[in-house]
C-alpha cells in the first residue's frame, strides 16, 4: 500500500474517525482501518456501538499501490494533524510498519492485520427514509438538549426518530422536559428508532449531501451518504407516548415574550435561586414577574418584571431555571409562546415563527 | 274532620335520549350568601349549591386519582353494584357523554349501564398504563398518564355512598402520610435547630429520596462538625422516618410529593363540598321539622327527627339542580321516605309500605273517637272495610316487648316482669319426678340397712340428704378421732355391701 494525500484533507477525515474509535487501550477497536483502491481512500473506525466509514475521493489523492491496513487511530490523527496543512502526506507500508512522511518528517507506526478488525455486520434493513439534511441537523440539535444522559430508564438516554405518514418526529426527553420537532416531506416507510445520546451528534451531522438517507435495521440505524456510512446501535425499549404530551390544554393561558429578553431575565433571577432546585416562578397576571421560588433556605430572593403579552387567568407557575434557560437558549426565534396548563400541567413552549418545534416543560411545585 | 293521608309515591321521570336529557355542567358557581337563621334559600341559590356539590364531588374524584389503590377499590364497588342488578343509579349518579352530563334515571337503564361500563373500562385501561410504569417517579410522562386518568375519572360521578367510602379510604391514607411527613420535618427541625418552614424548603420534593441526607449535610454546615456517632444516629433516624413515608407511598404508585399535592387538592374540594352541603342542610331543616310534626304522634319524636335529618342529607346529594325544580320537591320525598322507613324498622312485623300510611290515618280516627266502628273508620279514611279490618289488629303497634321489661303497673316491684310469668324451658317434669323418687329410695335403703352412727357418718361423708362433710368435721361433731370416723365408715360400707339393696344402689350411682 502506498499513497499520498493533502495533509489537511486527510487530517479532517482522520479526526472524524478518531472520535469514533475506542480510546480504551489494548483492543482492536482503537485502530482505524485504512484502505486504498484506484482513486478512493476508505477509513473505518468503530467502538462497539458506533461505526464510521469515510470515503475520500480528491484530486490530491495519488495511489501508487493498493492495499488495506489497520493503525492506531489516535496516534495517526495526532501525527497527520501536526503536519502543515498545505503539504502532501505520503503513507506507505514497509515491514509491517506504516511509514508516514511529509517534507522532512518521517514517522513509523505499528500496524495490525486487517482480519483482526471487528466490523459491524448488518442484516437486511427494516425501513429506509430520506429527509432534508439541514432540517435534520438543525431540528435534531435543538431537540437533543432535552435528552437524558444517565437515566435508569434506558430509552430516555437517546433521541426518538418516529416516521409517521411522511413526517419525521424527533423527540427527546429526560422526564422533566421534552423537545419534539416535526420535519415534513419525508419519503419512506413508517418506523421508530431510538438513537443513543452518544451518537446523536454524529448521526445528525454525518451526511454531506442535501438529503440524508437513513436506514434502520433491527438494532442499528445507518446514515448512508456518498462520503460514507455512519452506523449506530439503537437503544432498546418502548419510548413513552410523547404525542400525548403534545396535546394542548383545553383552557390554556398564553404568554408571548421576546426570547432573548426572557432568557436574560431568567438567567438573572436564577442567580438568586436555590442552588439545588434552581426554582424560579412566573407570577402571571396583569403584570408578569419572574421571581425566585420561595424554597431558598437562605431566604435569598430576586424578582424581575417581564415584558410580554399574557392572556389567561392569574396564577403562579414554578420551573427549574436550568431547564427553562436550556430550552430558551436552543430556540433561535425572536419570540416564544408559552402555553400554561395550570400550575401543575405540562407547559408548552414554542417559537412563534416555527410551528414545527415545540418543547414541554414540567412545572415545579412551589 | 279531614285526615291527611300521606302516600309515598315514586317520582316519575320522563326518560329521554342523551341529547335530550343531557345537561351542561356550569363552572363552579360562587358560594351563595347565607340568608340567616330561619330564612329560606332562593331557587337560584339552591341550584348554585346543587352544582357546587356536584362539581366538588367530581373534584374529589380527580384528586383521588393520585392513589391508584383507592381508584381500583372505587371501580370494584361500582362494578359490583352494576352487576348485582340494583338500580344503576346506585352505582353511578352521573356520566359525562361528550360535553353533556346525563343522570342515571333520565335515560333508559340499559343505555346508562352500557355507558357506565364503557367509562369504567377506559379508566381501567388508564390504570393499567400507570401500573406498567414500574417506578413511581414524578415526570412528564407519568404526569400525562395521571392527567389522562384524572380526565377519565372526572367523567363519572359515582353514587354518593360509593364515593364517600373511597374518599374515607383516601383520607385515611393521606392523613397517615401527612403525619409521617410532619414527623420527619419535626425531627429535622428539632435536631438541626431550624424553623420548620426552612426544613420543609430544604426537603422540597425529596421526602423519600436517598439524597436527602447529603442535602442536609451540605445545607447545614453544623452537621459536618457532629461527632461520627451523632452523625450516624441522625442518618439512621432520618432513614427510619423516610422508610415510614415510603411504606405509605408505595401502595399509591405515585410519589410522596404528588400524593401530598393531591391531598391538599382533595381538602380544597372537600371544603367546598362540606360548606355547600352544610348551608343547604341548615337552611332546609325546616322541611324536616314540618314533617316531624306530621308524624309526631306515631313514635318517638327524636328518632323521627334523626331519620328525617338523614333523609335530608341523602336528598341533598340526590338533588338535581339541572331539572329546575326547588329542593323541597325532592327533599320532602326523601325525608318522608326515611321517616316512614325508620318507623317500619321499629316494628317487628313489617307491613307493606303503603299500609303504614293507612295505619296512621286509622290511628288518627281512633284517637278522635276511640269507639268508632269499622264502617265509620272506613268511611272517614276512604279505605276499604276489609283493609280497615286487617289493619285494626296493628293499631296498637306491631312492636314486640322485651323479656327483660318489668311491669309498670302500680304495686309491682322492679324485678317483677314478663320473665316471672313465663315457663322455664330448661325445667323438665320427668327428670324432676325421677330425682325425687330415687332420693326417697336411697333414704329408705340406708335407713333399713344402717343404724345410728353408721347412718349418720355415711350420710355426712357422701352428702346424702345433707351437705357433704370431711372426716375431720364429722369427728369434731361426734367427738371422735378422724381415724375412728374412717373405721366406722368402712364398717358401714361393708354392711351396705352385704345388704339386699346393694345391686340397686350400684345401678343408681353408676
Which of B448, B468, B233, A83 lies closest to B458, judged by CA? Answer: B468
Q: Which three cell numbers, joined as nine digits, stand for B42? A: 332562593
* CA angle, A207 then A211 then A212, to 5°: 45
Q: Distance between CA A260 and CA A331 in Å, rounded?
A: 10
What integer pLDDT is reported at residue B10 of this predicted model?
44
What integer pLDDT is reported at residue B9 of this predicted model?
42
pLDDT band at B454 (very low <50, low <70, confident <90, very high): confident
Give one word for A7, left, alpha or beta, with left for phi > 0 and alpha for psi -120 to 50.
alpha
Which among A175, A296, A365 has CB closest to B141? A175
User: Regarding beta strands A279-284 and A288-292, do their DSSP bridges make them parallel or antiparallel, or are they unpaired?
Assistant: antiparallel
Q: Average of pLDDT values for B441-467?
A: 82
Which of B318, B314, B366 lies closest to B339, judged by CA? Answer: B314
Q: Is B173 a residue whose pLDDT tops 70?
A: yes
CATH of A2-116, one of 3.10.150.10, 3.40.50.720, 3.90.79.10, 3.40.50.10490: 3.10.150.10
Which of A83, A84, A113 lies closest to A96, judged by CA? Answer: A113
pLDDT, tens digit, for every residue of B81-135?
Answer: 999 888 888 999 999 988 899 998 888 888 899 999 999 999 999 998 888 876 6
What integer pLDDT is reported at residue B144 of this predicted model?
85
The CB density around residue B406, as the number of other CB atoms within 10 Å, is 15
Which among B135, B139, B219 has CB closest to A297? B219
CA distance B219 to chain A (A): 8
Q: Average of pLDDT values for B20-43?
A: 87
- Give me chain B's average pLDDT, please: 84
Q: Which CATH class is domain B438-509?
A: mainly alpha
The CB density around residue B309, as the number of other CB atoms within 10 Å, is 16
pLDDT, tens digit, for every residue of B207-218?
Answer: 888 888 888 888
Which of B191, B240, B241, B197 lies closest to B216, judged by CA? Answer: B191
- Going from the C-alpha of A61 to that of each of A2, A36, A91, A92, B127, the distances in angstroms are 11, 10, 11, 13, 64
CB A148 within 8 A of CB A159: no
Q: What is the DSSP letter of B406?
A: B
Q: Is A56 on the interface with B (CB under 8 A)?
A: no
pLDDT band at B194 (very low <50, low <70, confident <90, very high): confident
Q: What is the dihedral of CA A181, A185, A191, A195, to 10 degrees?
A: -40
Q: Which CATH class is domain A248-361?
A: alpha beta
Instruction: Identify from B27, B65, B66, B139 which residue to disrupt to test chain A contact, counting A C-beta atoms within 10 A and taking the largest count.
Output: B139
What integer pLDDT is reported at residue B347 of this predicted model?
63
Instruction: Identify from B27, B98, B138, B144 which residue to disrupt to test chain A contact, counting A C-beta atoms within 10 A and taking the largest count.
Output: B144
CB A71 within 8 A of CB A31: yes
Q: Is B12 a residue whose pLDDT tops 80?
A: no
Instruction: Name every chain B residue with its beta carbon within 8 A of the beta carbon of A365.
Output: 205, 257, 261
Nearest CA in chain B to A296: B201
Q: What SS3 state is found at A308? A: strand
Residue numbers in chain A where pLDDT is lower than 50: none
Backbone angles phi, psi at B310, to 5 degrees: -65, -40
Exposure of A45 by Cβ count < 10 A (0-12 exposed, 13-18 middle, 19+ buried)? buried
CA distance B140 to chain A (A): 5
Which among A274, A276, A362 has CB closest to B143? A362
CATH of A127-244, one of 3.40.50.1970, 3.10.150.10, 3.90.930.12, 3.40.50.300: 3.10.150.10
Half-sphere CA count of A120, side-chain side, radius 13 A: 22
pLDDT, tens digit, for every residue of B62-88?
Answer: 999 888 889 999 999 999 999 988 888
Q: Distance between CA A265 and CA B238 in Å, rounded?
A: 38
Q: Is B4 a residue whose pLDDT tops 70?
A: no
Q: Which residue has the higher pLDDT, B356 or B332?
A: B332
What integer pLDDT is reported at residue B7 of this predicted model?
42
Q: Distance between CA B406 and CA B414 in Å, rounded?
A: 6
Concatenate the DSSP letters of all residues of A246-260 into one string. Answer: HSPPSS-EEEEEEHH
Q: Distance between CA B413 and CA B20 in Å, rounded?
A: 70
Q: Distance between CA B467 and CA B477 in Å, rounded?
A: 14
Name, in order, each residue with C-beta under 8 angstroms of B3's C-beta and a sequence gap of 6 or more.
Answer: B361, B364, B365, B380, B381
pLDDT, tens digit, for every residue of A205-261?
Answer: 888 888 899 999 988 999 998 889 999 999 998 898 899 888 887 778 999 999 999
- Please, where in chain A does CATH 3.10.150.10 lie? 2-116, 127-244, 248-361
pLDDT, tens digit, for every residue of B289-340?
Answer: 988 888 877 777 888 899 899 999 999 998 999 888 889 888 898 898 888 8
Concatenate the DSSP letters of all residues of A179-209 into one string. Answer: EEEEEE--EE--EEEEEEHHHHHHHHH---S
What percentage of residues in chain B have a pLDDT greater than 70?
89
- Domain layout of chain B by residue ranges: 18-166+260-277, 171-250, 284-346, 354-408, 438-509
CB A14 within 8 A of CB A75: no
What integer pLDDT is reported at residue B399 of this predicted model?
52
Q: What is the dihedral of CA A4, A6, A8, A12, to 10 degrees?
A: -60
Q: Distance between CA B145 and CA B129 in Å, rounded?
A: 7
User: Regarding beta strands A97-102 and A31-37, do their DSSP bridges make them parallel or antiparallel, or are they unpaired?
Assistant: unpaired
pLDDT, tens digit, for every residue of B474-502?
Answer: 888 888 888 888 898 888 888 888 888 88
Q: Is B38 a residue whose pLDDT tops 90?
A: no
Size of interface A-B (CB pairs under 8 A): 46
Amino acid at each position: 500500500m502506498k499513497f499520498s494525500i493533502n495533509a489537511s484533507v486527510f487530517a479532517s477525515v482522520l479526526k472524524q474517525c478518531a472520535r469514533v474509535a475506542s480510546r480504551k487501550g489494548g483492543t482492536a477497536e482503537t485502530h482505524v482501518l485504512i484502505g486504498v483502491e484506484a482513486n478512493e481512500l476508505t477509513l473505518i473506525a468503530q467502538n462497539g456501538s458506533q461505526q464510521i466509514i469515510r470515503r475520500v475521493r480528491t484530486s490530491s489523492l495519488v495511489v501508487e499501490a493498493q492495499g488495506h491496513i489497520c493503525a492506531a487511530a489516535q496516534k495517526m490523527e495526532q501525527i497527520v494533524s501536526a503536519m502543515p496543512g498545505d503539504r502532501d502526506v505520503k503513507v506507505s507500508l514497509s515491514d509491517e510498519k506504516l511509514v508516514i512522511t511529509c517534507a522532512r518528517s518521517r514517522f513509523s507506526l505499528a500496524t495490525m492485520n486487517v482480519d483482526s478488525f471487528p466490523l459491524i455486520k448488518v442484516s437486511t434493513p427494516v425501513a429506509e427514509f430520506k429527509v432534508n439534511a439541514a432540517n435534520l441537523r438543525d431540528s435534531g440539535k435543538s431537540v437533543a438538549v432535552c435528552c437524558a444522559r444517565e437515566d435508569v430508564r434506558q430509552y430516555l438516554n437517546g433521541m426518538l426518530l418516529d416516521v409517521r405518514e411522511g413526517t419525521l418526529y424527533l423527540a427527546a426527553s429526560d422526564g422533566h422536559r421534552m423537545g419534539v420537532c416535526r420535519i415534513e416531506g419525508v419519503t419512506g416507510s413508517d418506523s421508530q428508532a431510538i438513537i443513543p445520546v452518544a451518537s446523536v451528534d454524529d448521526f445528525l451531522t454525518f451526511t454531506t449531501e442535501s438529503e440524508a438517507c437513513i436506514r434502520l435495521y433491527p438494532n442499528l440505524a445507518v446514515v448512508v451518504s456518498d462520503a460514507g456510512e455512519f452506523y449506530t446501535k439503537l437503544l432498546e425499549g418502548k419510548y413513552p407516548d410523547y404525542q400525548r404530551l403534545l396535546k394542548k390544554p383545553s383552557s390554556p393561558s398564553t404568554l408571548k415574550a421576546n426570547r432573548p429578553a426572557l432568557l436574560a431575565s431568567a438567567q438573572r433571577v436564577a442567580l438568586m435561586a436555590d442552588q439545588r432546585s434552581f426554582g424560579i416562578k412566573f407570577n402571571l397576571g396583569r403584570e408578569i414577574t419572574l421571581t425566585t421560588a420561595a424554597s431558598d433556605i437562605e431566604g435569598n430572593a430576586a424578582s424581575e418584571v417581564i415584558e410580554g403579552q399574557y392572556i389567561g387567568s392569574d396564577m403562579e407557575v414554578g420551573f427549574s431555571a436550568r431547564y427553562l434557560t436550556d430550552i430558551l437558549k436552543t430556540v433561535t426565534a425572536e419570540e416564544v409562546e408559552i402555553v400554561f396548563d395550570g400550575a401543575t400541567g405540562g407547559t408548552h413552549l414554542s417559537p412563534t415563527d416555527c410551528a414545527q418545534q415545540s418543547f414541554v416543560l414540567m412545572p415545579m411545585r412551589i | 274532620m279531614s285526615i291527611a293521608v300521606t302516600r309515598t309515591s315514586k317520582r316519575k321521570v320522563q326518560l329521554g335520549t342523551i341529547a335530550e336529557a343531557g345537561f351542561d355542567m356550569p363552572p363552579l358557581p360562587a358560594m351563595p350568601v347565607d340568608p340567616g337563621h330561619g330564612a329560606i334559600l332562593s331557587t337560584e341559590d339552591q341550584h348554585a349549591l346543587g352544582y357546587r356539590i356536584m362539581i366538588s364531588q367530581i373534584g374529589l374524584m380527580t384528586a383521588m386519582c393520585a392513589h391508584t389503590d383507592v381508584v381500583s377499590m372505587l371501580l370494584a364497588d361500582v362494578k359490583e353494584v352494576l352487576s348485582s342488578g340494583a338500580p344503576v343509579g346506585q352505582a353511578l349518579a352521573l356520566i359525562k357523554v361528550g360535553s353533556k352530563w346525563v343522570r342515571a334515571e333520565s335515560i333508559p337503564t340499559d343505555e346508562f349501564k352500557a355507558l357506565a361500563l364503557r367509562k369504567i373500562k377506559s379508566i381501567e385501561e388508564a390504570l393499567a398504563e400507570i401500573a406498567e410504569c414500574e417506578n413511581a417517579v414524578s415526570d412528564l410522562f407519568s404526569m400525562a398518564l395521571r392527567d389522562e386518568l384524572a380526565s377519565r375519572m372526572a367523567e363519572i360521578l359515582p353514587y354518593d355512598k360509593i364515593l364517600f367510602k373511597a374518599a374515607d379510604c383516601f383520607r385515611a391514607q393521606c392523613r397517615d402520610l401527612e403525619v409521617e411527613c410532619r414527623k420527619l420535618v419535626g425531627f429535622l427541625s428539632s435536631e438541626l435547630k431550624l424553623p420548620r418552614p426552612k426544613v420543609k424548603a430544604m426537603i422540597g420534593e425529596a421526602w423519600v429520596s436517598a439524597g436527602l441526607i447529603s442535602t442536609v449535610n451540605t445545607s447545614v454546615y453544623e452537621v459536618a462538625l457532629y461527632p461520627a456517632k451523632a452523625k450516624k444516629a441522625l442518618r439512621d433516624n432520618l432513614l427510619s422516618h423516610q422508610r415510614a413515608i415510603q411504606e405509605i407511598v408505595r401502595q399509591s404508585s405515585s410519589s410522596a410529593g404528588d400524593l401530598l399535592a393531591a391531598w391538599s387538592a382533595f381538602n380544597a374540594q372537600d371544603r367546598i363540598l362540606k360548606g355547600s352541603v352544610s348551608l343547604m342542610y341548615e337552611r332546609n331543616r325546616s322541611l324536616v321539622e314540618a314533617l316531624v310534626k306530621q308524624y309526631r304522634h306515631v313514635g318517638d319524636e327524636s328518632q323521627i327527627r334523626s331519620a328525617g335529618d338523614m333523609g335530608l342529607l341523602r336528598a341533598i346529594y340526590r338533588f338535581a339542580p339541572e331539572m329546575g325544580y326547588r329542593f323541597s320537591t325532592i327533599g320532602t320525598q326523601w325525608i318522608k321516605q326515611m321517616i316512614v322507613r325508620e318507623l317500619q324498622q321499629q316494628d317487628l312485623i313489617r307491613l307493606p309500605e303503603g299500609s303504614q300510611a293507612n295505619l296512621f290515618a286509622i290511628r288518627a280516627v281512633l284517637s278522635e273517637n276511640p269507639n268508632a266502628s269499622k264502617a265509620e273508620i272506613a268511611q272517614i279514611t276512604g279505605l276499604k272495610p276489609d283493609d280497615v279490618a286487617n289493619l285494626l289488629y296493628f293499631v296498637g303497634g306491631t312492636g314486640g316487648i322485651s323479656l327483660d321489661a318489668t311491669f309498670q303497673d302500680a304495686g309491682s316491684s322492679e324485678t317483677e316482669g314478663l320473665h316471672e310469668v313465663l315457663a322455664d324451658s330448661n325445667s323438665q317434669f320427668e327428670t324432676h319426678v325421677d330425682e325425687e323418687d330415687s332420693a326417697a329410695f336411697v333414704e329408705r335403703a340406708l335407713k333399713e340397712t344402717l343404724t345410728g352412727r353408721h347412718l349418720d357418718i355415711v350420710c355426712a361423708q357422701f352428702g346424702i340428704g345433707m351437705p357433704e362433710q370431711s372426716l375431720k368435721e364429722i369427728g369434731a361433731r361426734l367427738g371422735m378421732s378422724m381415724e375412728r370416723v374412717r373405721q366406722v365408715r368402712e364398717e358401714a360400707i361393708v354392711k351396705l355391701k352385704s345388704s339386699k339393696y346393694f345391686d340397686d344402689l350400684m345401678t343408681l350411682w353408676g
